[in-house]
Amino acid sequence: MSALVARRTLETTAATPNEIPFDAVLAGQTPMLFKGLVRNWPLVQAGLQSSQAARDYIRAHDRGGRVVGYMGDPSIKGRFFYDDARTAMNFKAERAPLEVFLQRLEAVEGADDAPSVYVGSTDLDAYFPSLKAANDLGLGPEVFGPEPPMAGIWIGNRTTAAAHWDMSNNIAVCAVGRRRFTLFPPDQVANLYPGPLEPTPGGQVVSLVDFENPDFEAHPGFREALDSAQVAEMEPGDVLVYPALWWHQVEALEPFNVLVNYWWNAAPAHADTPMNTLLHGLLSLRDRPDFEKQGWKVLFDYYVFGPADRAGAHMPEAARGALGPMDQMKARRLRAYLLDRLNR
């Protein structure tokens, strides 16, 4: 990113995680970086001693389960991405005990030509519950809603996760090492040149732009994307909060790095993933004549993107069906109706 110019994220202060202004971040679509907010975490303190101390701390909380790790040759320079044809990955995945990956990281730490080693989002509740208990934000339903967040840990050396978006809001904690997040609002999707829907490097569509060496002839819109980019330079104990659907490239900058993150949505439990809607839209809407698509945009605005109660407000309550307030029973009926139509 050294060759690129981007705005910094708004750095602000909070004495405790409970003072994070989540409404301002989410409703205001304003990522915020809180410096040193959890510097007192035992994991952070171990990392400040040394990378070895951090690894030993993680080892002490490892339940011994097999985790998924990723290995890339030195030639990829830490960027987990595609091969030249954009049809396969430039790295390999492997399931093994965490100790296998920790030993690999130890063996190559400090080497100029080190292979890339990366353990992706690993569920803290399932694999490291005692580590989570000792290193947690202490936030509850008042922030996350009735469904608890997915809390994960990311461990690796100098690696880059290409810019992508997630369907959940995110709290990212830089626990060990340093990290750089480069963020873009959702409206920059066209200027980030998304790649294939599948396969993808990590489950999400990624930008095909190489941020280190952007090809502005192939990706001219990326210049415009940079005008709205925000960069968060994170040190141990820093906490970054940003909304769902924001594009973000994540660079781990030290020979050993650990990130803890929390994904959550305030959507009700019965809500399906909107990605299913988008994929079905490709099948049912994208290739129709433009005048039809414009008509469907109006209908979607009326039924989906407008006020939730508008489409059924003029009907008797008993007649509203799925146009009334949704609940688990109505969601099951609607899902069954859709499956029946899709299977015809």
Mean pLDDT for 301-315 is 95
The residues with which 264 forms a beta bridge, in sequence order, are: 169
Strands 239-242 and 66-72: unpaired
CA distance 317 to 117: 57
pTM exceeds 0.85: yes
* Minimum mean pLDDT range among 4-8, 20-24, 150-154, 229-233: 4-8
Q: Name the average pLDDT for the chain.
A: 94
Helix (H) / strand (E) containing 24: helix 22-26
Mean pLDDT for 96-121 is 96
In the prediction, which pLDDT does 6 show? Answer: 66
Q: Which residues contact 231 (CB under 8 A, 6 or more apart)?
A: 1, 6, 7, 8, 9, 180, 181, 182, 183
Q: Which domains does the chain have, with CATH numbers?
A: 7-264 (2.60.120.10), 274-342 (no CATH)
Mean pLDDT for 86-109 is 97
Helix (H) / strand (E) containing 281: helix 274-284
Q: Are 322 and 334 in contact (CB under 8 A)?
A: yes
In the prediction, which pLDDT does 106 show? Answer: 97
